[in-house]
Amino acid sequence: MKSNEDVCCTQKRIMICSALANIPFTACLQAVKTLNFAEIRIDLLDLSEAELTTLFSTNSNLIATCRPGKYNDDERKVFLLRSIDAGAAYVDVEVETGDAFKQEVLAAAKAKYCQTIISYHDFEKTPPRAELDHIVTWCSEFKPDVIKIACMINSARDNARLIGLLDTDKRMLVVGMGEQGKITRVVAPLLGSICTFASYATDKATAPGQLFKDDLESRITDLQQL
């Protein structure tokens, strides 16, 4: 099991997670051999179960994610459980997913010392602070290792509300989506978010406003030097 020192973001060592999606298996395998930290977007990769096992056996610091849409819940669960068995460092499950699904995947993860992420996404807006607090409480009910809140940013106040969630004793991961959310992707890990997400290639973003990893790293480095 990875220690907090290995996975937490600090001003000296920011963890940038490269999201891998919409590339062939061979390219994905090459990427995980070179990246320090990556998210495998199973729903955006055409992988067999054997290929999935190979990926998670190759790099010990990968997030297994399979968003709803391409696969039904039974298929998603199989992919996530196989990823856990193969050595995923983290597994991400949406808070809106059925409780039985969440409980089975989270139990399997804990048995394998795989850290758990319960996530919430709003692709249209950033809810009011009271609603965000309610969402964090909802996520906390499942006792995850990390709570991820990703929201569309439409104003500077949205950025402030999202960043405000980091003022807690919980391990949080906040993501601002959209053009106006780019600043949150840069500053959040400096203020306590456990990591920040980036695209592996300039044309392979998995969410609105996601920056290319080299660009994101450069911007964070510039801020650290102030």
How many separate domains does the chain show? 1
Residue-level pLDDT, tens digit, the chain, 226 residues:
444 444 433 445 789 999 999 999 999 999 999 999 999 999 999 999 999 999 999 999 999 999 999 999 999 999 999 999 999 999 999 999 999 999 999 999 999 999 999 999 999 999 999 999 999 999 999 999 999 999 999 999 999 999 999 998 999 999 999 999 999 999 999 999 999 999 998 888 999 999 999 999 999 999 988 7
Look up the CATH number of the domain holding residue 48: 3.20.20.70
Tokens representing 199 are 């695209």
Range(s) of the domain holding residue 90 = 14-220
**Within a domain: 212:** yes
Residues 52, 68: Cα–Cα separation, whole Å: 18
**Within a domain: 9:** no
Secondary element (H or E) of residue 120 = strand 115-122
Secondary element (H or E) of residue 165 = none
Among residues 148, 182, 204, 213, the one annotated as catalytic is: 148
Active site residue 213: no
**Within a domain: 8:** no
Q: DSSP 3-state assignment of 209?
A: coil
Q: Are 200 and 18 in contact (CB under 8 A)?
A: yes
Among residues 2, 110, 112, 121, the one annotated as catalytic is: 121
**Within a domain: 1:** no
Residues 181, 196: Cα–Cα separation, whole Å: 12
**Within a domain: 83:** yes
Q: Are 59 and 217 in contact (CB under 8 A)?
A: no
Active site residue 121: yes
